[in-house]
Amino acid sequence: QSALTQPASVSGSPGQSVTISCTGTSSDIGTYNLVSWYQYHPGNAPKVLIYGGTKRPSGVSDRFTTSKSGNTAYLTISGLQSEDEGDYLCCSYGGRSTMIFGGGTKLTVL
Amino acid sequence: EVQVVESGGGLVQPGRSLRLSCIGSGFAFDDYAMHWVRQVPGKGLEWVAGLGWDGRHIGYADSVEGRFTVSRDNGKNSLSLQMNSLRAEDTALYYCAKDTTVGRYGEGFDMWGQGTMVTVSS
């Protein structure tokens, strides 16, 4: 169970789009469409943005969209806003009832 | 109010045991898988263990397999984590987290507690 790989940081200007990648293996992301994404501010509980690969909870903006290619999942945030700044975390089902987190990506809105 | 509340953390010597508990309220506890996730201060999140609503799904991180045991009592809306043979590297803030989807396992986490701190040190 190796941690999923995320870029340490990404940045974008207000109104732009940014994409955060989350790379796993053929045993997790490559096999299961069960990636979840979280917005995370240290000291607070993570907020789920996407779950079950493609599902968006009520109340989460449709500016947050996901895609997947092979062993990598992507979170795209469009129409970047200042309140989007923070840490973003991915997680995947890893088979055998296990889950795997990514290391997190810090988003800076310029 | 939907919430989960952890308890049971503390200071424990290496090699000893500790039992964490989590009580869920405001939702149908027996309909959801539940998980334990930990965070070493200043580091990222690590999934520790998960248990399906009916016990069919049960999984552990490699780092705790054979030492930790997750269990639940749906009648008491409770989830437990029995931690044996504790090591210094188990020192972390332990969160209880609710799975997102009724009757499913591993789709994500939509409710987290405040966490309970476990410190393993002599």
pLDDT band of A5, cuts 50, 70, 90: very high
Mean pLDDT of chain A: 95
Q: Which two tokens stand for residue A12?
A: 């974008």
A3 to chain B: which residues are within 8 Å by CB? Answer: 44
B42/chain A closest Cα distance in angstroms = 9
pLDDT band of B58, cuts 50, 70, 90: very high
- pLDDT of residue A1 exceeding 80, the answer is no
A104 near B CB under 8 A: yes
A100 to chain B: which residues are within 8 Å by CB? Answer: 47
Question: Is the Cβ–Cβ distance between B35 and B109 less than 8 Å?
Answer: yes
**Contact assignment for A50 to B108 by CB distance below 8 Å:** yes
pLDDT at B85: 98
pLDDT at A42: 78
- What pLDDT, in 10s, does the model give residues B59-81? 999 999 999 999 999 999 999 99
pLDDT at B89: 96
Distances (CA, A) of B58 to A38, A41, B22, B103, B113: 23, 29, 17, 14, 20
pLDDT at A60: 96
Identify the residue with better confidence: B98 or A42: B98
* Euclidean distance between CA atoms A12 and A83, whole angstroms: 12
* Euclidean distance between CA atoms A14 and A22, whole angstroms: 23
B61 to chain A: which residues are within 8 Å by CB? Answer: 1, 98
**Contact assignment for A89 to B35 by CB distance below 8 Å:** no
DSSP A39-93: EE-TTS--EEEEBTTTB--TTS-TTEEEEEETTEEEEEE-S--GGG-EEEEEEEE
Question: Is the Cβ–Cβ distance between B72 and B51 less than 8 Å?
Answer: yes
B27/chain A closest Cα distance in angstroms = 16
Of B44, B60, B114, the CB nearest to A101: B44
**Contact assignment for A89 to B44 by CB distance below 8 Å:** yes
pLDDT at B57: 95
- pLDDT of residue B42 exceeding 90, the answer is no
* Euclidean distance between CA atoms A106 and B76, whole angstroms: 39
